[in-house]
Amino acid sequence: MNILITGGAGYIGSAVARRLLDEGHKVAIIDNLSTGDVKYIDDRSVFFRGNILDVDFLKKVLESNKFDAVMHFAALKDIGESMCRPDLYTSCNITGTINILEAARSTGIGKIIFASSAAVYGAIPEGTAIESSPCNPTNYYGKTKHIGETIVEHYSKAYNIDSICFRYFNVAGDSGLRFIDTKAKNIFNIVAEVAAGKQKILRIFGDDYDTKDGSGVRDYVHIDDLVDAHILALDLRGNHVFNLGTENGYSVLEIIDAFRKKTGHSIPTEITARREGDIAKLTASCQKARETLKWNPVRTLDDMVESAWNSYIKQ
């Protein structure tokens, strides 16, 4: 297949691109390099530097190439920033998605895979989300992803486009590209920064949640497992929404402890106030992905910690 990846210089997009190329697919990448890095773009792919908000640019790229599918990763994803800069997130995450869908529709692309987020759920009383759980995002980033899903669904049904929306839980680990994003707010990146001596202290946002140790609990999935799901989705028809997690919840303090054991570093911490929009616990039910997509995540928390840490020490 000939596949277009938006955000292909980013953490997830670059990992998916490499796997697709390894499996013999053709890959083209769109990225404006605002958060991604050109060094993570595989030489076997075709790279178009540009912005998904530039309609003329998108039209030119899609009209000059016969793509079979689009994987749309390009987005802003800082929860805190989304709460104080909704204009940026409306523009990139909503308008950008509409632009991609319009370009795909007008050029006859038959499949779109949309990178969504577990942030669409907000607070789930029981703490475990299934795809039919109510979506009440507590931050604007999650709201933009939920709106994006809705738009993708309507385009899929109106224009007969196969669509898969993946609700990522917390993606962690390294795919072998040694991807390091110093701006990322993912706890794995931040803990590794402290363990590597690039930051002095790790700030924990709240220790008074109703969880096993007072810190927030999330579901973490290895990036290689996540990539597996995207490859499987290429053969799926229709309109679908899937959770991608492991159904295991780990607290912030458990993640820190796992890094301490792996690195031998003390990793000093400081408790600070909760962040606006954060919730106590969220894990995934992945039964739908197992049954429909035949996807089964196999990497462990130790695998995530080890690969993430190796990407730092090899730098």
Closest by Cα among 157, 144, 168 to 289: 168
> CA Rg, the chain, in Å?
19
Q: Are 103 and 58 in contact (CB under 8 A)?
A: yes
Closest by Cα among 201, 226, 202, 196 to 215: 202
In whole angstroms, how far apart are CA 263 and each of 182, 256, 258, 296, 303?
19, 10, 9, 29, 13
Closest by Cα among 46, 153, 28 to 97: 153
- Beta strands 249-251 and 217-222 are antiparallel
With both helix axes pointing from N to C terminus, report the angle between 96-106 and 140-159 in degrees, rounded to the nearest 10. Answer: 10
141 included as an active-site residue? yes
Q: What is the full DSSP assignment across 116-146?
A: EEGGGTB--TTSEE-TTS--B-SSHHHHHHH
Place of tokens 């579901």: 219
Q: Pick the catalytic residue: 11, 89, 140, 141? A: 141
CA 135 to chain centre: 18
Q: Are 46 and 61 in contact (CB under 8 A)?
A: no
Q: Are 171 and 118 in contact (CB under 8 A)?
A: no
- Cα(152)–Cα(154) distance, integer angstroms: 6
**Known catalytic residues?**
141
